[in-house]
Chain A
Amino acid sequence: MKTQETTSRPDNTAFTQQRLPAWQPVLSAGIVIPGFLFIGLAFIGIGIGLFITSQSIQVLERDYTGTGSSSACSNCVSSNISCFCQLNFSLSALFPGPVFFYYGLSNYYQNVRKYGVSRDDEQLWGDVSKSPCSTCGPYQYSQNMTIAPCGAIANSMFNDSFTLYQLVNMTKKTVPLDGKGIAWWTDYSIKFRNPTEVYGSLAAAFNGTVKPVNWAKPVYDLDPSNPANNGFLNQDFLVWMRTAALPDFWKLYRRINAGDYVSGLPAGNYTLEIQYNYPVADFGRKSVIFTNVAWMGARNSFLGIAYLVMGFLCVVMSMVMLIVYAKFNTPGEDS
């Protein structure tokens, strides 16, 4: 490049002369030590809050993979057809509500790249007539018909179902499980859409498509109890379609927030009836989790501890700096 002599008479501005007014941050001890102390105390405060909250959250986790001797559902591990099993637990005190009911899978890689892209967002937006995109393979077509919803994620949707009973006076009392609002609101109302119903029938809208290979029921028939909870807008389906970040994950199944259980699960014995369909025993485990949720989400001791450590670190550093200052300042002043 060549700067010609057109600039022989340079502009005399602050910018061209590199004399823009500038602020030079000087981190003086008067700022740094109280700053560190303040941050440290704030972090300790937050950390204590987080820690206490996290500790107050109750978690009840029960593995029901069925492998291992005393495990529940061991009868179902080898059966190929749908199988029922029971999981009993008792609460000695009230499990404060609202109680959230999760299922958990471990060593299950929802984040494998090929798996993660094996979906067709346009199809899920209601366009079932188009041919599904190639990333859906090998779950694109079945019997020469388009699979709806296509792809590996949909095909492998978690299909165990649970019913919770409280044993009251030796009778089973069904605990109502609420499946509303367990998926992201934006998924439910914007990102996913059902195809336009034909004469009021969702099934007709899915004409020309077949159900995913592993599914027992077609997508428009996922929740027979609630016609609005069908098709691509089925809440369980939406939850499943949001792929997990890590191989061990929880997914929200139901909330317990109705009837006698608004304030939580009272002390007593409970039975969870499981329709055992989902095979994971070959590579991982599955479990059910009951927990309550605080402002920071489910139980997570990491944040609280991290904040406490960081807070203490800051306070200690401010102390060290103060000592350094106190020790070296006075003789330094005279010389």
Chain B
Amino acid sequence: MLRRGLNRLLGGDESRVDSRTVYVGHRPSPTAPAFVPSKFCDNRIVSSKYTVWNFLPKNLFEQFRRIANFYFLIIFLVQVIVDTPTSPVTSGLPLFFVITVTAIKQGYEDWLRHKADNEVNKYPVLVLENGQRTQKESEKIKVGDIVEVLEDKTFPCDLILLKSSRDDDTCFVTTASLDGESNHKTHYTVPDLDSDLVVLNATIECEQPQPDLYKFVGRMHIHKDNQEPAVRSLGPENLLLKGATLKNTRAVYGVAVYTGMETKMALNYQGKSQKRSVVEKSINGFLLVYLCILLSKALVCTTLKYVWQSRPGQDEPWYNQKTLKEKEANVFLKMFTDFLSFMVLFNFIIPVSMYVTVEMQKFLGSFFITWDRDFLDQEIQEGALVNTSDLNEELGQVEYVFTDKTGTLTQNNMEFIECCIDGFQYKYQNLHMEVDGFCVTDGPVSKLQQKAEQEKEELFLRALCLCHTVQVKEAGQGVSSADQVDGLDVTSAMEQRGFIASSPDEVALVKGAMKFGFTFLGLECKSMKIMNRSKKIEAYELLHVLNFDPVRRRMSVIVRSAEGETLLFCKGADSSIFPRVKQEEVDRIRMHVERNATEGYRTLCVAYKQLSNEVFARVDGQLREARLALQDREEKLMAVYNQVEIGMSLIGATAVEDRLQEEAAETMEALQSAGIKVWVLTGDKMETAKSTCYACRLFQRSTELLELTVRTLEEGGRKREERLHELLQDYHRRAVQDAPPLKGGVTRSWSSAAQEYGFIIDGATLSLVLNTSDAISSSHKNLFLQICQNCTAVLCCRMAPLQKAQIVKMVKNSKGSPITLSVGDGANDVSMILEAHVGIGIKGKEGRQAVRNSDYAIPKLKHLKKLLLAHGHLYYVRIAHLVQYFFYKNLCFILPQFLYQFFCGYSQQPLYDAAYLTMYNICFTSMPILAYSLLEQHICIEVLLENATLYRQVAKNAMLRWCPFLCWTILGVFQGLLFFFGVHSLFGNSALQDNGQVFGNWSFGTIVFTVLVFTVTLKLALDTRHWTWINHFVIWGSLAFYVFFSFFWGGIIWPFLKQQRLYFVFANMLSSVSAWLVIILLILLSLLPDILVVVLRKPQGPYAQQKKPAGHSSTGGPQSFSRPLLMRTFSDESENTVL
């Protein structure tokens, strides 16, 4: 009756929107005579973006949506339409090049996607049609088809498991391609189903497709001839996801419920939101400045042109008369076209090639991270993974690191340390001496037998053995799958037995129980078998599993013993267990729990409860009902769970050690001395987290801890809000106001002798600070932020995943918008990884969700040090230099052309030939800077790693702020002026050869251009601190290419050119001694400021140190590099008899 009621309730119109009905095998159900085959999408996966037909328009449209491309398109169109000084080719060619390269790249990627799609879509599958197995292409599968899948094959669509070849109606699946978890997961067939699928007549009602891989709700109605349809609830354990692979099972049959683009895998393909780096924002800022320069240049020239023309005889001298058309043109139109012409003439100041170079630099540069062997982890044989190359330089700008504790700071490799039964402490001492782990009588366990009552002990150990979701890995499989590391744990016991679990805590507990004599043998046909101390096998019928979830922070099982007792075992965090057990029991155990927690162990409390038959029947009914619910199933289940898990009695507590990651403390110390603030965000309890922080040296002995937790709030005995306010005020006074003012230059002073503060807050208090929505709360938030910013380390414990993201967001949006980095390994870290500027995933044990959602993934926490201090620092310096250099070289490229306008009657006469204008950014000056931006190590990697403080040199976007930008701009202006007026002075008379012949305007431009190319290339050479053979090749090669090209370009009468204006100009120039002399003079003069800077600047890094053997460096090193280079090198050299 209940089911029918539910049917009616959910069968209404509204449910048609939220759910879909699937007819298994397309057989009409007797209750719904009007069989309407619903329209579902077919099983074709389309991940490609383009087809052959729409590739060109669609791709072009997408490319021109980028501002830069659009700008160049406009310039190109202006050149085509208006009569402009340079031919459209000069800007069309680079644009065409950029567009083509991008289109080819995207086209190739799309072709690969097409290929992959086809491979999936044309994959042969077996479909059961009227009892016949027919082979079909995967894309032909329709919703409702019954599909057969063989071992080691992937599922072609989302299937409901109907029948498995295994006896226990289960199958094993790996979802490695979906979420990277390579452990086997068990899925179950729909319970109590006819084995003959041919006659099965059933409908499935399930929710509309949604992307959550771990959620599924549905119901199956099984119709038997004129009987009431039986209803079975369907959950994620019945659903086989497309993309997952069948393992250890010969064959399964399933009915397709979601196909094609509606499968969970396809729905998960949606890309992450694009993260943009600070450098990109700086580029846009500079771009705006240059756009203003461009516009004002064009405006100035246009205005001056008309002022100049207004003087008599200048507008139209007899030797240069206008055509009829020009005379008749509207004066305003002429002004406008003049303006556009100037724009076109000067548009090279905004370099089209910069975007390409920046993209290439990022793309190629990211390979150095993946290639780095220091990131190669021997255990998993994997290196670092780069998911996005857009953020390379952001790694050098990190100010806040948010780190998860479990699995990130710690290894997540659990070891059972001790337990406490009924107030007595049991320590398992000599682990290595214990070989067989089945120790019954003597040895370390003897203590156990002396203290607590035998009954309590055994109850506790049984609870440990029963209350979990661990599976036993079958003996035979142990060898074949020994390479699977995640979640798999092979004991060294005599039996080849391993446990598989989603959480390593559980494995540790089960193994712990094993060491005390109770061995979990496995789950077979809903009965859990354990071997007790007297080697007898006890069997318990598993009735219900009340799953673990992070909100409840506990899990329970309901089992029935052989004697017929119904028992509930529950284990969970102390805070979630204590309120649900008797108080006097708590007091006995609490002390142990707290002590264990301060030692850094993870503690769990174990409780149990006997259920009478009546109670069980009620609970059973409620659970079944809740499980069948289509809507709000989670909430309903949770309510039932909470109802059941009360009034339990506490039996004991366990302590599991989670060891620190390798070099976790060193890494944290390095990050801190690099001026990075480390915040630990964990779901663990405060004491555990605090001890981890001490162990990681995030908190030092001298650190004064400011605590803001539920405990401190309740101390005063007053209202929480008042106390919170008071505490915040107090901490603020101590940490912010009384702190010594920061020195001007160093914004993040860390090494000063001032008192260091550490801040601790828990989840409940945090929500009190953040979520109360009134005026006070915003002041609270402010105070909180200020306190945190003045603390060296902050610990946030008891955090829900969403709160982690909230914290990251709060810091991200605080004053100065600091760059944040989140590092984590588990699914609960995904939200903060996505929220932070840079997300780092650790390839840990808690699956691969974090890695999938991260921007960079590294195998271990210790790799973070090199990633930030070496790679990040170098990438930042490289790209910052790249950007500044690009703007600089285009400024001194275009400035002479601008100045020339003053000497040619503002007629938009280009100074350089079109070929030079086009090639300057593409060929002559692009390769050296690209090589520089890939290879430069202004300080070598070892030194960067040794001296973490060097990281602060580039903090706060130091190389791309307005001041350095101004310096570069001034340099560009200086050189541009020098180039032009130097050559201009030379051309006081243009007879520069010993045969008296004169040079024309193209010779003038070519001399300027030659000086320009050599100067900007040599300027880069001066900046290069790390000359590999590639740098040599590219720098000298570029110059040689320029000379070669000029000879070539001027050596031939080009049939396609209308004007042979550069014919032999370059060769002729080289025949003039004066030209040579002026070129050498101007190059040297323009580089003089740079040479002086190089000579006189303080040395960037301790080069001296790196040359000396490591042992000596500590004594003499630091002094020698604090002095200017000039003096140091003098003292280093004995013979200074230079004069």
Contact = CB atoms under 8 A, between A and B. Distances in A.
A108 B383 CA distance: 69
A306 B313 contact: no
A112 B373 contact: no
Given A22-B1026, A109-B904, A325 B1077 contact: no
Contact of B988 (A50, A244, A302): A302
Task: In the A-B complex, list the 4 residue pairs whose CB atoms are closest, starting with the nearest.
Answer: A156-B319, A28-B1129, A245-B1004, A16-B371
Contact of A307 (B910, B1001, B1077): B1077
Contacts of A184: 997, 1064, 1068
Given A22-B1028, A335-B1119, A10 B376 contact: yes
Interface string A285-323: 000000101111111101100110010010001000110
B1130 interface: yes
B376 A300 contact: no
B1025 interface: yes
Interface in A88-139: 100, 102, 108-119, 121-122, 125, 133, 135, 137-138
A183 B1094 contact: no
B1135 A332 contact: no
B990 A245 contact: yes
B126 to A, nearest CB: 30
15 contacts: A12-B373, A16-B373, A22-B1026, A22-B1031, A27-B1129, A28-B1125, A29-B1130, A114-B322, A118-B320, A155-B319, A191-B1063, A279-B318, A307-B1081, A324-B1127, A335-B1119
B389 A321 contact: no
Interface string B906-942: 0111100000000000000000000000010100010
Contacts of A50: 1077
A299 B1053 contact: no
Nearest to B359: A1
A181 B990 CA distance: 17
Contacts of B273: none
B904 A113 contact: yes
Given A297-B1072, A328-B1127, A25 B1077 contact: no
A112 B907 contact: yes
B987 A246 contact: yes
A119 B320 CA distance: 12
Contact of A297 (B993, B1025, B1138): B993
A299 B995 CA distance: 13
A32 B1129 CA distance: 11
A143 interface: no
Contacts of B905: 109, 111-112, 247
Interface string A234-269: 000001001111110111100100000000000000
Contact of B314 (A25, A283, A291, A294): A283
B1103 A26 contact: yes
Nearest to A101: B996
Given A252-B997, A296-B1074, A5 B382 contact: yes
Interface residues of B, number: 104
Nearest to B1077: A303
A302 B317 contact: no
A255 B996 contact: yes
Contacts of A282: 312-313, 317-318
A152 B321 contact: yes
Contacts of A325: 1126-1127, 1130, 1136
Contacts of B1058: 121-122, 133, 135
B195 interface: no
Contact of B1136 (A11, A16, A24, A29): A29
Given A3-B367, A244-B1001, A300-B1074, A115 B1130 contact: no
A10 B371 CA distance: 5
A201 interface: no
Nearest to B386: A3
Contacts of B1053: 125, 190-191
Nearest to B1139: A322
Contacts of A291: 991
Given A242-B998, A250-B990, A9 B1003 contact: no
A211 B1050 CA distance: 30
Contacts, number: 289
A182 B387 CA distance: 66
A238 B910 CA distance: 22
Contacts of B1003: 245
B197 interface: no
Contacts of A156: 318-320
A17 B935 CA distance: 11
Contacts of A117: 1059
B736 interface: no
Given A190-B1053, A298-B989, A245 B999 contact: yes
A8 interface: yes
A7 B1095 contact: no
B989 A30 contact: no
B453 interface: no
A18 B873 CA distance: 14
A133 B1057 CA distance: 12
A24 B1027 contact: yes
Contacts of A279: 318
A313 B1081 CA distance: 12
Contact of B909 (A18, A22, A112): A112
A67 to B, nearest CB: 13
Nearest to A139: B321
B365 to A, nearest CB: 10
A187 B1057 CA distance: 16
A116 B909 contact: yes
Contacts of B313: 282-283
Contacts of B366: 1, 3
Contact of A296 (B321, B985, B1077): B1077
A113 B907 contact: yes
Nearest to A104: B989
Nearest to B382: A8
Interface in B1054-1107: 1057-1060, 1063-1064, 1068, 1072-1074, 1077-1078, 1081, 1084-1085, 1088, 1092, 1094-1095, 1103
Interface string B969-999: 0000000000000101111111111111111
Contacts of A133: 1058
Contacts of A250: 989-991, 998
Contacts of B987: 245-246
A247 B1129 contact: no
Q: A22, A125, A251 — which one has the most chain B CB atoms within 10 A of its CB? A: A22
Contacts of A317: 1092
Contacts of B1085: 310
A311 to B, nearest CB: 10
B376 A39 contact: no
B479 to A, nearest CB: 23
Contacts of B999: 245
Given A30-B1133, A113-B85, A138 B1138 contact: no
Interface in B492-532: none
B390 to A, nearest CB: 9
Contacts of B1094: 27
Given A184-B1064, A306-B982, A324-B1126, 19 more contacts: A3-B386, A3-B387, A10-B370, A10-B372, A17-B372, A29-B1130, A33-B1138, A100-B991, A109-B904, A119-B1059, A183-B997, A242-B1000, A246-B990, A247-B903, A293-B994, A294-B994, A297-B989, A297-B996, A306-B985
Given A246-B984, A255-B996, A303-B1081, A25 B1025 contact: yes
Contact of A295 (B381, B984, B1073, B1133): B1073
A69 interface: no
A186 B366 CA distance: 51
A39 B1087 CA distance: 13
B373 A10 contact: yes
A23 interface: yes
A298 B1064 CA distance: 21
Contacts of B389: 1, 3
